[in-house]
Structure 1
Amino acid sequence: MCREAVSARLDGEPGPAPAEAVDAHLERCASCHRWQEEAVALNRALRMRAAAQQPDLVAAVLAHAPAVPTLRQRRRTSLRTQWSRHALAVVAGAQLLLGLAQVFGLRFGMLAHGMAGGHGMDSGPGMSGHLFNESTSWALAVGAGLMWVAVRPRSAGGMLPVLSVFVAVLSVFVAHDLAAGEMTVARAASHLLLVAGLGLLAVTHRRHGRPQLPAPGHRLPAGRESSVTAGAVDPSDDREARRSVWPLPPTGRHAA
């Protein structure tokens, strides 16, 4: 019975005798004590085995690992992939400088009478000054918006429709004012900043405006999978896209 109790203890099962009685018997019986030691050694040998020798693959893995790019290579890659953001920041800075120049009273390329009328607008007292202030506000707002997109390219999609309509309407007025002699060529040339900004904004939106999901079979590090794929809706699935925007009407079973 003592050996059965020792065997049950090694297996983690309740024994047929109290533990105190088994321990007392093992202290008195040399045969059972020797059997316990042999059973413990056998149990350890069965549970713990030496690991099989494995080939050293460190050298092979390091040989096929991609080389770590140098600082110069990283800068070249950044310039090649981020050029639209850098160019957009330059255009935004120039647009902000133009707006700030107007804040301090510099009427760049404007005729003395160019702000007082035209296009069927009322040219009453104060209208010229108000239109100049409005033009200054637009110049600063557009410059600040382009600078924000250069820093946060994901926001390009929100500004693209507004600037597109603004440039389209402004182009019509510029053509009319040039033909009527109400605008100088220098003032019209200053609006090329907006055209350049619109083009760079479209390129930035195309390259950086949408979140890049990993390719099939590519695993991201732990902790990043949920942040990238959480809430992502496949744009090719029209039904899923509509469901995420418009709630479906209740069916007859749920109408009640």
Structure 2
Amino acid sequence: MIDHDQVQAALSARIDGEPSPLDDDVIDAHLAGCARCRQFHDEALALSRRLRFIDPADGGMAPPADLSEVILAGIEPEWRRTANARMVGLAVARFLLVIAGILWVVWGMQLLGQAGGLNPVGAEGVVSPDADPQTATLLVNAAAMRFSLALGLFTVAWKPRLVSSLLVFVGALWTFMFGFLVRDVVLDTVADGQVMGLLLLFLTLIAMAWTWLSHHGYVVLRAGWRELGANPV
């Protein structure tokens, strides 16, 4: 005698498109007189439809012929949103890098002007006795550093993939300058423009970090987060 479990197993196999251990006539005859198995059959069919499988002509269940279109249709909107957000973020970061580079150039030109004033030359082409060549040399070196940093920022704005190496340098520079500022605050020897210079360097560092995140840092951080959350083998 056929019991309910055998019929339900045969129904599951038929819905899944697999070979059934019972003949279809036997299954249909049992369904006609068994409310319990009819309910199981209806629930199994409803589940197959919720799983979005295709119902073949013979009543079985089979996966779509090409799953790639279904998968791409599901992930493409999310991928487009992420890509668009990264492109907008990268454009803003590159604009900020250009602005920061211009500010560093302006600052360097001001330092060069100050250095020239420390080495006045008379009508005979002789340097004035009041000249301070040592301080002028320091100002020229400081201006050269600012011009170099501006050139690096312009290069990164043009080629964002180069941001990683310069980001380490700017981060180290800001760290040392911040330490010197703390020392000068304690000693009450803070120079004019020292705080503004540190603030400009910090904003430059933020723009570079933003560029790194928008270009490829997001992928690196997400991969690292997945590795941290992975279960050990």
More helix by share: 2
TM-score normalised by the shorter chain: which range applies? 0.3 to 0.5
- Could you tell me the TM-score, scaled by structure 2's length? 0.45
